[in-house]
Amino acid sequence: MLKIFYFAHLREQVGRECDDLALPDGVVNVAELIEFLKNADPAVNHIFESTPKILVAINQVVVSRDSKVTKNDEIAFFPPMTGG
């Protein structure tokens, strides 16, 4: 079971902190998972449309969108970080 977390303003826009999801058939990487989530939930689609540079972490390591996803991964989505 995937555990999907939304952080910062993404959590506010989606209206929840996390989702539990069985790895969908045919989804093997982050980009495919994002497309699945966008098609399944208008709120998730909205966050990816309104914040195009969302960062992704798998098991607490920031990854690229072509990184593989496996059935027990923890996926986190968060907005780009700013310095200060």
Average per-residue pLDDT for the chain: 94
78: nearest Cα among 10, 2, 3 = 10
pLDDT per residue as tens digits for the range 30-52: 999 999 999 999 999 999 998 87
CA distance linking residue 58 with residue 82, whole number of Å: 21
Residue type, 13: Q
Over range 6-15, report the average pLDDT: 94
Return the number of other C-beta atoms located less than 10 Å from residue 42's C-beta: 8
The answer to whether the CB of 1 falls within 8 A of the CB of 48 is: no
Return the number of other C-beta atoms located less than 10 Å from residue 44's C-beta: 21
pLDDT of 10 higher than 90: yes
Quick one: pLDDT band at residue 23, thresholds 50, 70, 90? very high
